[in-house]
A and B are shown apart, each in its own frame.
Chain A
Amino acid sequence: MKLHFKISNIQSRRQLFGSMHALRISLLVVVLSAFSLATTSVMASGNPARGQELAGQVCASCHGADGNMALADDYPILAGQHRDYLVVALKAYRSGDRENAIMGSFAQNLSDQDIEDLAAWFARQEGLGELGFD
């Protein structure tokens, strides 16, 4: 009798734990999807039209208006580069984490929004591709 009571108690505990667990998971799913929606909209906030305008004033003489030109051979092609990589690179130049006298001084004058806009513009141009290994 005593033993039976213990077992049923454990079973009901398990049931309770199971439903709590399910509730927690569904809550987590809701929170995560809200978070991913929020980050996507923040990350995609670059305005390519404004980026084009800014690129024409600041970047074009070395990288070309669409990022497909390089004034020197060791300057990179920017057209078609990943948007988020361009953001990371420009912020690293601005902070000095990535050292380059020319890019450092240009990046100093860029706001976060400028960087997002420029990245949105260059990423949309036809240019670089993935490494195709065939």
Chain B
Amino acid sequence: MLNRLFATLALILASIAPALAESGDPERGAVIAFTCSGCHGIPFYNNAYPTYSVPRLGGQNEGYIISALKAYRSGERKHTTMQAQANTLSDQDIADIAAYFVSLSGNSE
């Protein structure tokens, strides 16, 4: 009986733990993301060679930011500056940054 209770508790904890690790802390994200503002916080800032506007991220989906940063980190998505930045980020850093970006309202809000 007790064993079963422990097993159930362990199962519940095991299912919660990854969710906890994945959920980002927007306040910590705001501190880490300060670097991002150097390019993404300046309206109409241009990427150099080829020249195009650096994408707007305010209000972007949390899951998209996470998958984009992880793709840059693994090298699956290529961009010299973004790969260099993403290389320094842990999974938790990425989750925190994404939680912060999604908390910023876009134009429509």
A residues apposed to B, CB below 8 Å: 68, 70, 72-77, 79-85, 87-88, 97-99, 126-133
Contact = CB atoms under 8 A, between A and B. Distances in A.
Contact of B63 (A72, A80, A82, A85): A72
Contacts of B67: 74
Interface of B: 33-34, 36-37, 40-44, 50, 52-64, 66-67, 76-78, 101, 104-108
A128 B67 CA distance: 18
A123 to B, nearest CB: 10
A127 B104 contact: no
A97 B52 contact: no
Given A99-B76, A131-B33, A74 B107 contact: no
Given A97-B78, A99-B76, A133-B34, A128 B56 contact: yes
A129 B107 contact: yes
Interface of B, secondary structure class, is loop
A128 B61 contact: no
B61 A132 contact: no
A70 B64 contact: yes
A83 B47 CA distance: 14
Contacts of A76: 60-61, 64
B55 A127 contact: no
Nearest to B34: A133
A18 B67 CA distance: 57
A77 B52 contact: no
Contacts of B58: 128-132
Given A80-B108, A130-B41, 4 more contacts: A73-B62, A74-B67, A128-B57, A131-B37
Nearest to A97: B78
A82 B56 contact: yes
A131 B57 CA distance: 6
